[in-house]
Amino acid sequence: MTRVAAIDCGTNSIRLLVADIEPDGTGGHRLTDVERRMEIVRLGQGVDRTGRLDPAALDRTLAAARDYAAQCRALGVERTRFVATSATRDAENRQDFVDGVRDALGVVPEVVSGEEEAALSFAGAVSVLDPAHAGPYLVVDIGGGSTELVLGDGTPRAALSMDVGCVRLTERHLRTDPPTPQEEEAARADVRRMLDDASAVVPLGRARTLVGLAGSVTTVTAHALRLPAYDPAAIDGAALEADRVLNSCSALLHAPHADRAAMGFMHPGRVDVIGAGALIWSEIVARVASEVAAGGGALGPVVTSEHDILDGIALSLVR
């Protein structure tokens, strides 16, 4: 058994998974959670506009990294991997981030490509997916700055990272509370253009199970399940009809800020960006369902997974 730490630093949040990993007897590995944490640090604040990491956002992120480092030492972590994604890929001053993380944790953060980010997300999601769900699976990871699409069965067949996420889309378009029809249409047009390009690389119509990852998707699922508080056990593996998902996406997008903040399952750091996340998810769900039907197929349920890039990072440490 090996105790590992996986850290995922995205545009909106920084997350930690400490896990014990051991062989499962079939050539694979079994992952057992020791600790999962998430902090909203908004590292990507303003990056889409300025091309640089904001000093205050960088300070928040490095403070969280130092906190995670202390926890890893206390828990006896043997191996650590720190992966950074969209915001740091796009930032001119990312070396400041790299140096700060190395000082805090003693490891160099890997600023991975969108393609590797997608592969890690896919590996984490399918490692625990219910075998009753039919493949191929289309795994969708909606982050703050980018969205990854990966199609495959046991391994990815096609993948693409789109430069659209809940923080980036909010900063570009959704500035009114709640968004105006004009803002919403501009945001939808942005996502649809990205999906037009993506469909040339990832054949969306071949999917039989759509799997959604990360905070925007899990929050939409919590709303669809009418949870009074955020409950990972209820959310993980939830299989919903597409119409139910789309209804919750619409409700979250059009709810005023105060109403979102009052929802018991809503993380305070997600209140201002969940509308954009829900909009992105609604466009993807509708597009995939349409392309599957056009190809004569039948899309199964829309599945939500709490297992994502963090699990993929952790598993990569023993593979």
Q: Does the pLDDT value for residue 89 go beyond 70?
A: yes
Residue written as tokens 């996420």? 165
Q: What is the dihedral of CA 127, 133, 136, 139, to 10 degrees?
A: -60
CA–CA separation, 307 vs 243, rounded Å? 24
Q: Find the mean pLDDT for residues 169-188.
A: 95
Give yes or no for a contact between 38 and 15, defined as CB atoms under 8 angstroms apart: yes
pLDDT at site 118? 83
pLDDT class of 239 with cuts at 50, 70, 90 = very high
CA–CA separation, 104 vs 304, rounded Å? 33
Give the start-to-end residue ranges of the domains of the chain: 2-112, 125-309
pLDDT at site 248? 98
Over residues 158-177, the pLDDT tens digits come to: 999 898 999 999 999 999 99
Please name which of 8, 3, 11 lies closest in space to residue 171, comparing C-alpha atoms.
11
Q: Find the mean pLDDT for residues 82-88.
A: 82
Q: Does the pLDDT value for residue 113 go beyond 90?
A: no
pLDDT at site 154? 80
The CATH H-level (homologous superfamily) assignment of domain 125-309 is: Exopolyphosphatase. Domain 2 (3.30.420.150)
CA–CA separation, 154 vs 139, rounded Å? 12
Instruction: Please tell me the pTM assigned to this model.
Output: 0.84
Pick the CATH number of 2-112 from 3.40.640.10, 3.30.420.40, 1.10.10.10, 3.90.1150.200: 3.30.420.40
- Report CA-CA distances (Å) from 142 to 12, 65, 76: 11, 22, 32
Over residues 1-16, the pLDDT tens digits come to: 899 999 999 888 899 9
Over residues 299-313, the pLDDT tens digits come to: 889 999 999 889 999
Mean pLDDT for the chain overall:
92
pLDDT class of 34 with cuts at 50, 70, 90 = very high
Give yes or no for a contact between 271 and 257, defined as CB atoms under 8 angstroms apart: yes
Q: What percentage of residues in the chain have a pLDDT greater than 90?
A: 71
314, two tokens:
């952790």
Residue written as tokens 């069965």? 153
pLDDT at site 86? 66
Q: Find the mean pLDDT for residues 149-157.
A: 90
Over residues 275-299, the pLDDT tens digits come to: 999 999 999 999 999 999 999 988 8
pLDDT class of 209 with cuts at 50, 70, 90 = very high
CA–CA separation, 55 vs 52, rounded Å? 9
